[in-house]
Amino acid sequence: MSLGQRGKRINWKWRELYVRLLSPSVFILRIDGRNFTNVLKDFEKPFDIRFAKAMVETCKEIMREFNPAFAYTFSDEVSFLFRELFGCRVEKINSIIASEFSSRLSLKLGIPVSFDSRIIYASFDEISDYLKFRQDECWRNHINSYAFYTLLKEIGDRRKTQEFLNGKKSSEIHDLLFERGINISKTPAWQRRGIMLYWEVVELEKEFEGRKVRFKRRVIIENWDLPLFDSEEGKKLIEKVLSYFR
Ligand SMILES: Nc1nc2c(ncn2[C@@H]2O[C@H](COP(=O)(O)OP(=O)(O)OP(=O)(O)O)[C@@H](O)[C@H]2O)c(=O)[nH]1
Ligand SMILES: [Mg+2]
């Protein structure tokens, strides 16, 4: 307790107004890189496999440390599905996951990076719809990035390139790129649909004192060749991934 400006006693603990803000017990958390347009200016455009691999490796470390059911990533964002983290304290969850991710990725890239973080409420049955929402964004981001960087080479000015593309339909962009030798429906699946990491139980066999011993182990699967989340195959995959928390 200390004396404030008008001589009133202030209990500074009470001014931690947001400490009681709580998350649901199961929640989605999405982080997004701050100013990555500039941070990644020396990386290959529109997609750099080295950056994608660094993101995936960092997701794996977060999965081992905090045990989410999945991580779904594209561009500079990741969505996780967590259960009961830090007594559901929103400030703690957002700040710790963002800083763990940022510091681990900074070490891999050799440049300082930071991420913002938000919690998204979704009931269990709504999670597949959320994933479809992010996968649609991945597809839009993929088309726009290819179009932007391909046309920037011709136009030479970022603002003019963006103005030229504004309001163009995706079929028009498809044709523009096709004329320039890029078929955006044939680019690598991870660029079009994102990358998902999740747990799977595998059975392994080892020699132990001359005898074969079978045992089960939880491993992280990296899926760089995802189906569309709203296809039959996609729905089955999500069902399997969510069974980790059921
Ligand atoms: N060069 C390069 N850039 C990438 C890659 N992946 C994502 N980006 C860039 O990262 C940026 C992500 O978009 P945003 O999150 O909307 O933009 P931002 O600059 O991070 O801005 P804020 O998130 O608002 O701070 C885009 O400009 C992408 O082009 C990559 O593999 N290579
Ligand atoms: Mg960003």
CATH code, domain with 57: 3.30.70.3000
Q: Examine the pLDDT at 4 and tell me if it is beyond 70.
A: no
Cβ neighbourhood burial of 29 (10 Å; 0-12, 13-18, 19+):
buried
Q: Examine the pLDDT at 246 and tell me if it is beyond 90.
A: no
Examine residue 210 and state whether it is found in any structural domain, yes or no.
yes
Note the pLDDT tens digit of each residue in 191-232.
999 999 999 999 999 998 999 999 999 999 999 999 999 999
Residues with C-beta atoms within 5 A of ion ligand 2: 32-33, 36, 76
- Cα–Cα distances (Å) from 3 to 13, 16, 111, 131, in that order, read 14, 17, 43, 51
Can you give the pLDDT at residue 1? Answer: 58
This prediction's pTM:
0.94
Ligand 1 pocket check: which of 32, 35, 36 to mutate, most ligand atoms within 8 Å of Cβ?
36
- Tell how far the Cα of 77 is from the centroid of ligand 2, in angstroms: 7
> Strands (DSSP E) along the chain, which ranges?
2-3, 9-10, 26-33, 70-74, 77-83, 115-120, 195-208, 211-223
Name the residue type at position 190: W
| For the chain, percent of residues with pLDDT exceeding 90 | 94
Confidence of residue 137 (pLDDT cuts 50, 70, 90): very high
Can you give the pLDDT at residue 164? Answer: 94
Examine residue 6 and state whether it is found in any structural domain, yes or no.
no
Same structural domain, 30 and 106:
yes
Domain boundary among 176, 191, 206: 191
Name the residue type at position 138: C
CA–CA distance, 246 with 233 (Å, rounded to integer): 20
Q: Examine the pLDDT at 10 and tell me if it is beyond 70.
A: yes
Q: Examine the pLDDT at 3 and tell me if it is beyond 80.
A: no
Can you give the pLDDT at residue 6? Answer: 76
CA–CA distance, 47 with 206 (Å, rounded to integer): 40
Nearest residue CA, atom 30 of ligand 1? Answer: 47
Same structural domain, 120 and 144:
no
Per DSSP, 202 falls in state E
Mean pLDDT of the chain: 95
Instruction: State which H helix or E strand residue 150 sits in.
Output: helix 127-155
Q: Which atom of ligand 1 is nearest to the CA of 34?
A: 25
Domain count, the chain: 3
- Cβ–ligand 1 distance for 35 under 6 Å, the answer yes
Note the pLDDT tens digit of each residue in 91-108.
999 999 999 999 999 999
Q: Which of 3-12, 17-26, 44-53 has the lowest mean pLDDT?
A: 3-12
Instruction: State which H helix or E strand residue 95 sits in.
Output: helix 90-109
CA–CA distance, 68 with 197 (Å, rounded to integer): 10
Q: Which atom of ligand 1 is nearest to the CA of 145?
A: 29
Examine residue 1 and state whether it is found in any structural domain, yes or no.
no
Domain boundary among 108, 129, 150: 129
Q: Examine the pLDDT at 153 and tell me if it is beyond 90.
A: yes
Same structural domain, 125 and 137:
no
Q: Examine the pLDDT at 176 and tell me if it is beyond 90.
A: yes
Same structural domain, 28 and 125:
yes
Note the residue count of the chain: 246
Dihedral of alpha carbons 103, 109, 115, 121, sign: negative
Q: Examine the pLDDT at 24 and tell me if it is beyond 90.
A: yes
Examine residue 18 and state whether it is found in any structural domain, yes or no.
no
CA–CA distance, 2 with 240 (Å, rounded to integer): 55
Examine residue 75 and state whether it is found in any structural domain, yes or no.
yes
Examine residue 43 and state whether it is found in any structural domain, yes or no.
yes
Q: Which domain holds residue 166?
A: 132-191
Ligand 1 pocket check: which of 43, 76, 78, 195 to mutate, most ligand atoms within 8 Å of Cβ?
76
Q: Which two tokens stand for residue 37?
A: 């347009």
